[in-house]
Chain A
Amino acid sequence: MNPLTHAVAIIYILSAVGYVVYLVRQDSFWNRTGFYLLIAGCLLHTGTLGYASLLAGHLPVHTLRETLSMVSWAIAALYLVFQTRYHLKILGAFASPLAAIVMSISIQLPMKSVQAPVVFNSIWLYFHIITVFLGDAAFALAFGVGIFYLVQDQAIKTKTQGFFYRRLPSLEFIDTTGYACIVVGFTLLTMGLISGFAYAKTAWGHFWSGDPKEIWSGIAWLLYAALLHGRLSLGWRGRKAAIMAIIGFAVLMFTFFGVNFFLKGHHGEFTRW
């Protein structure tokens, strides 16, 4: 497993390089290079994760190393699917390096954890994990898009055409893209929470256990729900939406990682290292 996961990390890094060169030079050859490398890396990654699942009999998310690998996969996979519809050209320069960095950290971590968690297997669990990870990846993209929006907004407001001005599309385009990311993320997160509750019922007999992750996920879910509601009925678009996407992601990061590290609860078992 090791050489292949290393290969995935290297391919992601090469893809990231391609996208970053495209960011600077705006030569579409580099964009294509980054894109095809990312596809190759993601396919290989899917293969290694699938194989690991078969071997272990469950999704490989039992150590921090495995979890981060899954996160990296989710970012790459979701970005690839997303950009078939939403062509924010330099988004790759955010998504690909992110996937590469997360994967690079993953392969440095130890393979076996101190204590393997005991898990009741169920289809709900698979569904829960995949939708949550993909949803988080979508929110990560929304975060990147939010930053792009603020950069371009700043350039236009202050009348200074910096490095990004001509590399980024119009504000409307960026805003629409960010909105799409949030919608996708929210849908997936909702599915993830519901399947999580369903799993809890089948595994432990009750929907809710007051686990910190459940609480904080609920908070994150409410926050994004508010964002969507605000956009639809109050017109929270443009600058406000971008800022909220960034804040939402910060909350999400705490939900995903912070809770595991700093608070107790059953999810902490999955990120031991």
Chain B
Amino acid sequence: MADIVLIGLNHTTAPVELRECIAFTPEDTVVALDHLKQEPAIDEVLVYSTCNRVEILLVTGDIPAAVDVTKKFIAATHQIPLDRFENFLYRRENDDAVRHVFRVAASLDSMIVGEPQILGQIKSAYQTATQRKASALILNRLLHRAFFVAKKVRTETGIGDRAVSISYAAVELSKKIFDSLVKKKVLMIGAGEMAELAVEHLIRQKIGNLFIANRTFERGVSLAERFKGQAVRMEEIPQWLEQVDIIISSTGSSELVIHRDQVKAAMRARRYRPLFFIDIAVPRDIDPQINRLDNAYVYDVDDLQNTIKENLEDRKKEALKGERIVDEAVIRFRDWYDNLNVVPTIVDLRNKLQKIIENELRRTLPNLRQTPAADQESLQKMTGTMVNKIMHDPTRLLKMEGHHINKPVYLDLLRRLFNLDA
């Protein structure tokens, strides 16, 4: 009976330099699938390669041979000696392999648990495998179940709920202050990857106007074009404080960009509508004293990091719930897998019985005194009924749902007792 085996390495077992060396581009993947599925030891194959892991999933009747040929393939096509990466590989078989695939798809094995990208990456790898006809019955079922489990984990646990990146955390906090971000006005001061990411997230929340202030006005204009906002001058910021709701600041300035008195005056003018400052800059741009004003809130980089840390702790707790869902799914998959062999075995047994009885009937009939056609028919019918009745009890037992019997053992015993594999 076929086995499932997975070999690979990830961010916990191998450094990025090594992962880079044996990574598979989409083109590499196609070549690998085409080559490996033709190997006699390999029935089905799936390859996925992300920045944090490279894993190859095989269905095989001969685990050592399949693993061996796969490793040699990696060494040959990536031009890297086998002993350089062999020790970093992990290997999982059958139930462990199934559990691993479910966990990876559900983002439980990711560097940041709950990250949403891995599922898409695996789906894409699976699509390639089906296109190249590298996957068949078992991997198809396994991957479909993996997607189901991933979705279940995501919806039934909170692993994806809370922000674990600065930009997401900023948006999440905004929503704790403003309820809905629709039509709210945002001011971005300065530039930088995290600030721009935060602005992108906010735009997705359908904010209203976006204003961009930059020490270099031209830079502000180009950013404004990119985000479809309006460029404003740094000197105008105090006036804009009266208009906007959220301010993201990320300048390289070593001085404060916004002072307490400016905000105090602005609060009165804006009738104390809440004002949220996200200060990503180091050294800080926003006067921390502003946080002490009524209805004004200031979060600096450390504050955001602490929020993230707490959220990561929550994710770990939710991950435990996810593991339970995975455990249950592994058992269900094992059930399906075991049942794969029930029907062929029953068919094989029935065929064997049928053949034995027919042979004997053929040999005995000539020895009987003149048997009329009607009698021959009765005898034929009898042999058919005999086979059915003999098969009835074994069939019922083997097809029974649940874990009353150890099916693989029974099936194996049956095959041996009746020598079905001769």
Contacts and interface: CB of A to CB of B under 8 A. Distances in A.
Interface centre among B177, B270, B273 (most CB of A within 10 A): B177
B271 interface: yes
A234 B274 contact: no
B306 interface: yes
A238 B274 contact: yes
Interface stretch (A96-104, A164-172, A262-270): A164-172
Contact of A159 (B178, B274, B306): B306
Contacts of B178: 170-172
Nearest to A238: B295
B272 A238 contact: yes
A152 B274 CA distance: 14
Contacts of B271: 234-235, 237
B299 A170 contact: no
A171 B272 contact: no
Interface in A26-49: none
Interface in A201-227: none
B307 A170 contact: no
Interface in B130-185: 173, 175-180
Contacts of A156: 173, 176-177, 297
B50 interface: no
Contacts of A261: none
A156 B179 CA distance: 14
A169 B179 contact: yes
Nearest to B276: A156
B273 A170 contact: no
A246 B179 CA distance: 23
B294 A240 contact: yes
B176 A235 contact: no
A152 B268 CA distance: 22
A3 B289 CA distance: 59
Q: How large is the interface on A (under 10, 10 to 19, 20 to 34, 35 or more residues)?
A: 10 to 19
B291 interface: yes
Interface string B262-285: 000000101111100000000000
Contact of A235 (B175, B270, B299): B270
A239 to B, nearest CB: 5
Nearest to A169: B179
Nearest to A232: B271
A115 interface: no
B271 to A, nearest CB: 3
Contact of A237 (B179, B295, B297): B295
A258 B174 CA distance: 42
Contact of B272 (A165, A172, A176, A237): A237
B93 interface: no
A236 B299 CA distance: 24
A83 interface: no
B179 A173 contact: yes
B303 A159 contact: yes
B310 interface: yes
Contacts of B176: 152, 156, 165, 170-171
A237 B310 CA distance: 30
10 contacts: A156-B173, A159-B299, A159-B303, A159-B307, A165-B176, A170-B178, A171-B176, A171-B178, A171-B179, A238-B272
Interface of B: 173, 175-180, 268, 270-274, 291, 294-295, 297, 299, 303, 306-307, 310
Given A161-B310, A240-B294, 20 more contacts: A156-B177, A157-B297, A159-B307, A161-B307, A165-B176, A170-B176, A171-B178, A171-B274, A172-B177, A172-B178, A172-B179, A172-B274, A173-B179, A235-B271, A235-B272, A237-B271, A237-B272, A238-B272, A238-B274, A239-B295
